[in-house]
Amino acid sequence: MVSGHYQGIISNKESIICMKGKAVHREKHEFALFVESLSLLIQGKSSGNNIVVSDEKLLHRIITVLRLESGDQCIFFDRHVHVSAVIVAIGKKQVELTIQSIVKNAVLHPTITFLLPLLKRDDYESALYALTEVGVNTIQLVFTQKATHQWAGSRENERAQRILIAAAEQSKHFAYPQVKEPISLEAALQKYDAATKIFFDPQGKRFFEVMQTMHSNKSQEVLLLVGPEGDLNTEEKKLVQMNDFIFCALTPTVIRAVQAAALGAGFVRSLLSNDE
């Protein structure tokens, strides 16, 4: 089970707070909930039609965790579409919904691929969550010389998917990124190419200078990389440099890899999305 840190669970009931003796009603939070087979479920359906969702875990969240009721509105999504719907009825094994709208998930541009080293487990999971929140398109995991995280195959994939979905629910980034199984850094550098490649490194060029160049070039494909805990070694940095990466300093200080990943990807997405 994904920890509460990744579930982003907040009570849906209309909260009441007191300000100078007066009751102030806050608007209800509209939850987004993942339904794996949603695209198939809504085939041939349109606004005003009803659908029935049968999923024990989803039902548990709706009834016990979120305490939603008939008449409450939610967003239901998979990786391809999201549906705004009103809960009509909640049964013991299913929930009936009335569709309000069906929207194809927007894929963010320009395309951002992030080469993420296998960090220590907590940092690795935090990085996955943050990169989903800020709108990265693809996360390619990479083995580096100083990586300490041992990859556990299918179990790792399942865990990663749960983290991505939790981040998508919170951020409303429904076209959440694909996470690809780890390959060597050298293989990743050969596999991926982009007009703009950035390695976040404290000894690199000033961030503002690099961002000005990116903005001027209107880059449509961006490849980003951070080092693991303890950084890339000298040979790895030479390899990165030979593959035409710009070395860019996010801050004048040394920050943790997970922070560099979130900060760097967020800045790039924010900067380049202004051109859309």
Predicted local confidence at residue 28, as pLDDT = 62
- Pairing relationship of beta strands 73-77 and 32-34 according to DSSP bridges: parallel
Which of 223, 136, 138 is closest to 178 using CA atoms?
A: 138
Sequence-distant contacts of 190-194: CB under 8 A, at least 24 apart = 191/140, 192/113, 192/115, 192/140, 192/223, 193/223, 194/111, 194/113, 194/219, 194/221, 194/222, 194/223
Other Cβ atoms closer than 10 A to 172: 12
Q: Which residues of the chain does CATH 3.40.1280.10 include?
A: 111-273
Superfamily of domain 10-104: Hypothetical PUA domain-like; domain 1 (2.40.240.20)
Window from 21-35, 176-190, 206-220 with minimum mean pLDDT: 21-35
- CATH code for residues 111-273: 3.40.1280.10
Window from 27-36, 50-59, 113-122 with minimum mean pLDDT: 27-36
Q: How does pLDDT run across 66-77, given as a tens digit for each residue?
A: 999 999 999 999
Q: How does pLDDT run across 244-255, given as a tens digit for each residue?
A: 999 999 988 889
Full-model pTM: 0.85
Maximum mean pLDDT: which of 57-66, 172-181, 266-275 = 172-181
Place of tokens 């009751």: 23
